[in-house]
Every structure is written in C-alpha cells, then in structure tokens.
Amino acid sequence: MKKLLFLAAMSAFLFSSCCCNKKCKIKNDDEVINGYARVELTADLSRFSDTDRKMMAYLCDAAELMEKIFWKEAFPGDREAFLNSIEDENLRKFAEINYGPWDRLDGNRAFMKIPGMNGLDDKPVGACFYPADMKMGEFEAWKDENKASHYTVIRRDENGALQAIWYHDFFKEEIEQAAALLDSAAALASDAGFAKYLRLRAQALRTDDYFESDLAWIDAKTSDIDFVIGPIEDYEDDLFGYKSAHESFLLVKDPEWSAKLAKFSAMLPMLQRELPVDPRYKSEMPGTDSDLNVYDVILYRGDCNAGGKTIAINLPNDERVHIQKGTRKLQLKNAMKAKFDKILIPISDIVMDPEQREMVDFNCFFENVTFHEVAHGLGVKNTINGKGTVRAALKEAYSALEEAKADIMGLYMVEQLYAKGEMSGSDVDKNYITFFAGIFRSVRFGAASAHGNANMLCFNFMKAHDAFTRTEDGLYKVNLPQMKEATKALMAEILRYQAEGDYDGLRKWMAEGTVIGEELQADLNRIADANIAKDIYFVQGKEVLGL
C-alpha cells in the first residue's frame, strides 16, 4: 500500500512538473518513470543495404513474438486486459516495464492489485512456468525425465497430475510464426554463417534442441548484424532456476571498436608478462577462450527488457558449447552510453569536484568496462601452492575479489596501452577519474553484490593511500599520482591473495575493506535524495528504427 501511494504521488509529480494535459506527449512527462529513465533505442542504419534492412524487419517481428511469449511466462493473466485496466499513463508504462504489477527493482513487491485476481499480491516464485497451486515437495516427488528441462512448462492434466509440456508445443502458435520469420530472414542474409545460424535457430525453436544453433552462433561472429532469440536465461524461475525465459536482442556491430579489441587481444600475453607483480603470480598464459566484440543493441524484447537492462551479453549458456567453442561476449555500447548519461553523470554532478566532473567521460567509461572484461582473462586461475584453483581456494570471497581484480587491472591496462601509444584520442587521467566516479554508482544501493563489494574494496584502499580528497561539502577530488600508485599496489595485493589462495587473509581484509564509512554513507544518501534514475527503459521497435 505504501508503494501504491508513493507511485500515485510520483505520477502526480510527473504530471504537475510538465506544462500540460496528456495530449502533449512530452519528454519531461515520461522522462523518468518511478526510477526508470526514458531512452529511445535508435541507431544509424544507413550503412546497411535495403536487403539487410528487410531482413532486420523480419527479425524485429520474430522478436515481438518472444515478447508475447515472455508476457505469458511472467504474468498469470491477460496482458491486454491488465494494461487496459490501468488508467494512469505512467503507472501503465511502469507495469509494462515490469511485465506485471511487481516492481522488479524492489524485490518484486506488488505495486498494484490485478483486477479480477483477488488476493494475488506476490509474484509467483516460479513465475508462470509451474501450476500456481504446486508445492515444491510435489514437484520433487514427481518422476518425469523432462520436468527439470530448461524448455518445458509444467501444467496439470485433466486428472490433476503434473505434466511437462515442451515450449514448442505450449507456445506453438508464436513459435511457428517466429521460426518462419527466421527462415525468411535467413534467405536474405548476406553473411553465410549468419544465414546458417538463423536456419538452425528456426529449427531449434521448433524442437527445443538449441545445441547446433548455439555452435553456429559462435561461428557467425563475422556478421555485422546479430540476433539473439529463444529461451535463454533462468532467472525468471525463482523457484528452481530451471526454466529459461524467452527473449530477443537485435544488434549491429561497432566495426571500429571490434577491430581495436581484436588488436588488443593479440597483445594480452605481452600485457600479462609486463604486469608489475611477483613473476609467480603471472606465470599462466592469459585465457583467450572467449570472443569479445562491441555492438549497439537496437531491440530488447521479452526477458531482457524486463526491469533493469543488461549492458553486456555472454552467451551461450550451454556448457557443452563452452567446451567445444567457448563463448562470445558482446559489449552493448549504446546501452552503456544511455546508463552513463542518465545515471553516472547526474551522480558525478552531486559528488565530484566541479573541475574533475568535466573529466568524467563516456569513452573512458567504455574503455574501463571493456578492459574490465579483458582483465578477467589475465593473472592466474590456479594457486601456486597446491591449493587448487583460485576459485576453489577463495570460496565465497572469490567473486568480489575477481571483480576488483578486473576493475583495477583493466584500469592499469588502459594506462599501459596509452603509454605504448596504442590508444589515442583521450587522456588516461580521465579514465582514472571516470572509474572513481563510477564507484558511487556501484555502491549506491549498498555493497551487497560482488560488484558492490569490489568497489568498496577499491574505495577504502584508495582512501588509505590518499588517492582522493573529500571536501567538507562532500565533493571528491582524485589525486592522480597517488591514485596511479595505489592502483599498482592494489593490483599486486589482489594477485597475491589469488595466487597464494589466502582465504583467511582475504576474509579479514574483506570484513574491514567493504565497510561503508559514515562520510560515504552521507554522500550516498545525498545521491538517493536526488531521485536519480535507477535504470532505463526503452522506446523501441521497427518504427523507431525506421524499418
């Protein structure tokens, strides 16, 4: 109920802050809806041929079918009737963003009642993949070889017994249409590998056997146009984490950045050799098992469009594919830019020194997050003293430290590439300042996640090394020489914990190093009070793209 009032107050505020009635569909009016900033998902598609654009239009239509299926997976009623019952335009938009009446960024708490579904306050834990009245024990006792498949829904038959139904049967109408659209798109594809992938993917949707199409997707990386479609991630099923939800991304490659990354990945062995750390901590060959490229996303449909938006893709999820061909990592540059503009810049305006605020820069942000990914492949995967893999030795503390490693080593690599003249167009000081400003974004909701903890480790380490100063008004200024020294020291420290598998030492460091101090908390409170967007939502589709 509190939530509902807040939302009502919020939309009243949104309306009153604008000039007018609903007729002027104004930017201000729907700029931020309950924490989501509006972003138009456009891209310059002029470099593509008419045939390519026609193919993209087919792919958009196939993606819309994933949207339709995902609504059925997420919401246990009729989508149209539900949305039409909501009079307030912003509330309706918010329900669309959440694919139902539950706030995905607030623990799925209900923000309104569903008309005609009395008493259903909480989001079903297993979404709509299981019968609403099914108990865990019943499922566990049930013997069925397909019950835990990623690609079946569970329903009751006429006698009330559980049955597993394949997606391609349960969503037959949508799946057949989507597969036919993929075949039509494949006939227009100029890249042979991509055409093969689309054909195999159509077949996969019809059979729910995705393996061959996943392999083909890895091989299709040369295509300038890319498309992810199907049941992909299991997060929507909070009951068992078995069922994959349908989604789709349509993407176009950033040729310039992709070429740069190909060049840098060839430099990884050298960068590893030159790390200023104990030689035993860098004795492994850096991993090159995943392929990193840069894209602009031009369509998010289904699961990936619900609630918070992802800014990177690492697929496929099938471990059999990892063993045969590795994975592909796609950095989603325009989505990162949108979050940078709508979230990081407003945060910087609140906490950064005015002079350094000007140096918080998107290109640097993008370099930092991209080299974060590259840096995951550097350092060591195994301890040097017989304690097994780093992951096994450091247990639950592993993830946060690995994220901190990737942040800090990524930053260091950018500095090295600037020093070697391999990067140009900017100023590495801006990379450090942009990185520092980003810490506030990562810990603004507390340090609970691996990324949040990683950022707090960095923040407190930097503080102890005088890498920044804070004025009485809570404005931060990076002291660049100290920050650069601290970066190197922190990198050496992290690699030591990893290579030595020093679990007890790390536990102790993390207990102290992830604490959010009083001053920082006060600054985070100022950020919270400023009502800065928590995430983004997209205005998107064929029309927006001009297809």
What is the contact surface with Zn ion in residues (CB under 5 A)? Answer: 403, 406
Q: Cα separation of 492 and 116, whole Å? A: 60
- Closest distance to Zn ion from the beta carbon of 522 (Å): 29
Query: Taking phi first (over 0 means left), then psi (-120 to 50 degrees means alpha), and beta for anything else, what does residue 466 get?
Result: left
Q: How far is the CB of 127 from Zn ion (least distance, A)?
A: 27
Are the CB atoms for 124 and 133 separated by under 8 Å? no
Nearest residue (CB) to Zn ion, 312 versus 492: 312
**Residue whose Cβ sits closest to Zn ion:** 406
Q: How far is CA 499 from the centre of its chain?
A: 29
Q: CB of residue 376 vs Zn ion: minimum separation in angstroms? A: 6
**Residue 322 or 542 with smaller CB distance to Zn ion:** 322
Quick one: 64 or 367, whose CB is closer to Zn ion? 367
Q: Peptide bond preceding 316: is omega within 30 degrees of 0, i.e. cis? A: yes
Nearer to Zn ion, 246 or 309 (CB): 309
User: Could you tell me if residue 241 is left (phi over 0), alpha (psi between -120 and 50 degrees) or otherwise beta?
Assistant: left
Cα R_g (the chain), whole angstroms? 24
Nearer to Zn ion by Cβ, of 49 and 314: the residue is: 314
In terms of Cα–Cα distance, which of 492, 488, 104 is closest to 306?
104
CB of 425 to Zn ion, least distance (A): 25
Report helix, strand or coil for 378.
coil
Closest distance of CB 157 from Zn ion, Å:
45
Dihedral, CA of residue 472, residue 476, residue 482 and residue 486, to nearest 10: 110
CB of 418 to Zn ion, least distance (A): 22
| Comparison of 108 and 389: residue with beta carbon closer to Zn ion | 389
Q: How far is the CB of 218 from Zn ion (least distance, A)?
A: 21
Q: Which amino acid is at 46?
A: S
Burial 382-401 (b: 16+ CB within 10 A, else e): bbbeebeebeebbeebbbbb
Q: Which is nearer to Zn ion, 239 or 450 (CB)?
A: 450
**Phi, psi of 15, deg, nearest 5:** -70, -45
Alpha-carbon span 510 to 504, nearest angstrom: 10
CB of 312 to Zn ion, least distance (A): 9
Closer residue to Zn ion in complex, CB, 112/400: 400
Q: How far apart are CA 438 and CA 415, in angstroms?
A: 17
SS3 245: strand
